[in-house]
Amino acid sequence: MTVKTTILPPKTLLEKRLNDVNDDAHLNERFYPLILKRAGTSINAYGVVNILMLSIYDYVEGLPSIISTLMHDSIGDYIEAMVGHDDEVKKDALDLIEKSKKQ
């Protein structure tokens, strides 16, 4: 079975898309740089979910627990920002998130 991959947008476009989700200064300072490291690289759905989950984990360390909840509630928007240009990878990433919620 071949795993579908896509290319993440270039850094400036990805940064714009992330800011379209939420342009909070704290996110720009501490969360988005964790994702922007991978701009322009090849990625599959698992990689998208992995990057987001690990970035959220790193970002929320030391913050009130509600921030983690809010970040996870926005995961679909962040997936759209990262791979919205590729319907198959986006769907696969969203499916992985839904599957993880049922476990």
Q: How many Å separate Cα 75 from the centre of its chain? A: 6
Beta strands 42-44; 5-7: pairing state: antiparallel
Whole-structure pTM value: 0.94
pLDDT tens string, the chain, 103 residues long: the values are 678 999 999 999 999 999 999 999 999 999 999 999 999 999 999 999 999 999 999 999 999 999 999 999 999 999 999 999 999 999 999 999 999 888 7
CA distance 40 to 16: 14
What's the total number of domains in the chain? 1
Count other Cβ atoms within 10 Å, centred on residue 60: 19
Confidence (pLDDT) at 83? 97
**Phi-psi region at 40: left, alpha or beta (left = phi > 0; alpha = psi -120 to 50):** left
DSSP 30-66: IIHHHHHTTTT-EEEHHHHHHHHHHHHHHHHTTS-HH
Domain that holds residue 79: 5-101
pLDDT for res 1: 61
Which of 21, 25, 30 is CA-nearest to residue 58? 30
